[in-house]
Structure 1
Amino acid sequence: MRQAVHSLTIETNGKGLVPIDRPVLHWVAEQGIETGLLTLWCRHTSASLTVQENASPEVLTDIARYFDTIAPEAPGRYTHDDEGPDDMPAHLRTMLTQTQLSIPVADGRPVLGTWQGLYLFEHRRRPHRRTVVLHLLGE
């Protein structure tokens, strides 16, 4: 049994879903582990991770719009606004999504469906530099 750990730095342009498939798939392939479990961990409380459709950009637009309705930026609505009106909504959106993903690895690749992509979901308006930690365990 072997394991490997790596940190990815993801630059965001503000709110939205950022595809992270390429660097994740590349790193997993480099490890030479054929069968195992990949864990992705987002080290932030205002960004999250998700597996989502990668074929239609409209899906990503609709997801972002949906989150704008369930956790809106509304000045005066939230007590916590230390970093501006998008601060608390970003925390709520992270709480409603995931900061960790576990994906089986078979034949040296994460087992994703045909239309599944990996995304960092940035919940803040400003661009950020986000860290996603990858942990691969297997043989």
Structure 2
Amino acid sequence: MLFEIEIPTRKEFELIDITSLINEKIKEAKVKEGIAVIFTRHTTTALFINENESGLVTDIKEFFEKLVPKGQGYHHDRIDNNAHSHLRSIILNPSIAIPIKDGKLLLGTWQSIIFTELDGPRRRRIFVKICEC
């Protein structure tokens, strides 16, 4: 089954834990064993798996601000003034695949699926493909 989920973001840079949203779709699909593929079609968003802890969230934001700062005379800024957002997104991934076991994502104790907004606020969409296997 393919699901589309809208994610309204509120900040320019925002990390949103979408783990429960994905588990809801798995429950809706009634899949006990399989795989979930999560994908974002936006070039200034990304997905990753990590711990959703407030200190780490701050560290991640500061990491990206230092690694790819805004307003550095990037060529793409002539068009949209968001080159830093595009450059940050290429470090991450537009999709992730996670096994499903016993009707839930097979994640570690501290692992969460994090949707990353890099050029918000905007109304974003992700796609979730749930396959039984």
User: Please, what TM-score do these two structures have when normalized by structure 1?
Assistant: 0.90
* Deviations 1:35-60 (CA, angstroms, capped at 9, x unpaired): 11100001100010111102x21101
* 5+ long unaligned stretches in structure 2: none
* Cα distance, 1:19 vs structure 2: 1.3
The residue type equivalent to 1:99 in the other structure is: P
Q: Which residue of 1 aligns with 2:68?
A: 71
Kindly report the root-mean-square deviation, in angstroms, between the aligned alpha carbons of the 2 structures: 1.1
2:76 to 80, 101, 110: 80
Alignment of 1:1-139 (within 5 A): 4-14=1-11, 15-54=13-52, 56-75=53-72, 77-81=73-77, 82-84=79-81, 87-124=82-119, 126-139=120-133
Secondary structure at the aligned position of 2:76 is classed as coil
Distance in 1 between residues matched to 2:36 and 2:106, nearest whole Å: 10
Secondary structure at the aligned position of 1:38 is classed as strand
Secondary structure at the aligned position of 1:96 is classed as coil
* 5+ long unaligned stretches in structure 1: none
Give the % identical residues: 27
* Deviations 1:48-77 (CA, angstroms, capped at 9, x unpaired): 0111102x21101100110111111025x2
Secondary structure at the aligned position of 1:64 is classed as helix
Q: Across the two proteins, how many residue pairs are aligned to each other?
A: 131
User: Please, what TM-score do these two structures have when normalized by structure 2?
Assistant: 0.94
The residue type equivalent to 2:83 in the other structure is: M
* Deviations 1:4-45 (CA, angstroms, capped at 9, x unpaired): 000010011121201111211111111111111100001100
